[in-house]
Amino acid sequence: MTAPSLYFEGQLLVAMPAMPDPRFERSVIYLCAHSEEGAMGIVVNKPLESLSFSELLEQLEIETESVDERIRVHFGGPVEAARGFVLHSADYVHDATMMVDEEFALTATVDVLKALAEGDGPRDSLLALGYAGWAPGQLDEEVQGNGWLTVPASEDLVFRQENDTKWQSAVASLGVDISNLSGDVGHA
């Protein structure tokens, strides 16, 4: 029997109500990687109001016949905020795709943006600029310090729910009443 993993790769991080960093207040982050070398994730519930998908394609000089305006650009995190990442269903795999698990993958190339624009991309996707990153041991300390809850990820929660309900839904998936959560270490 294998010991349970101490890493949260493929899970959601849900910011606790007392999250001290305003960039992550009420954030839901899909963790793409987590190891002894650190962690990397994409915020999945904070759309950018300042940039549309068609504007992004225009800035990158990607020409397409038509653009699906339902595709929103999200704030993926404060690290490398000008770099695009597409978190998506595992049905789309190319050379540069990082498979996270059987359901989720991450691609950060212009090709996936072209495929999304042309309707040839993955079944489900979330386009983000930037990512959230943690140094070795930093995320573990933040979880132990009551900064984050870990929640199993689902395609429905990540890709199909409205952004403004993802945080509440993620907490509710644990069977927890958010009003009972404390910001104090060692208290539920």
**Residue 135 within any structural domain of the chain:** yes
The average pLDDT across 87-91 equals 96
Q: How far is CA 121 from CA 20, 32, 53, 86, 126, in A?
A: 37, 19, 14, 10, 11
pLDDT confidence band for 86 (50 / 70 / 90): very high
**Residue 187 within any structural domain of the chain:** no
Q: What CATH number should be reported for the domain holding residue 163?
A: 3.40.1740.10
pLDDT in tens, 97-134: 999 999 999 999 889 998 998 888 899 999 999 999 99
How many structural domains is the chain composed of?
1
**Residue 168 within any structural domain of the chain:** yes
Give the span between the Cα atoms of 119 and 135, in whole angstroms: 36
- Structure tokens of 169? 């839904």
Nearest C-alpha neighbor of 46 from the set 32, 27, 59: 27
CB atoms within 10 A of CB 109: 15
Give the residue numbers spanning the domain of 74.
Answer: 11-180
**Residue 2 within any structural domain of the chain:** no
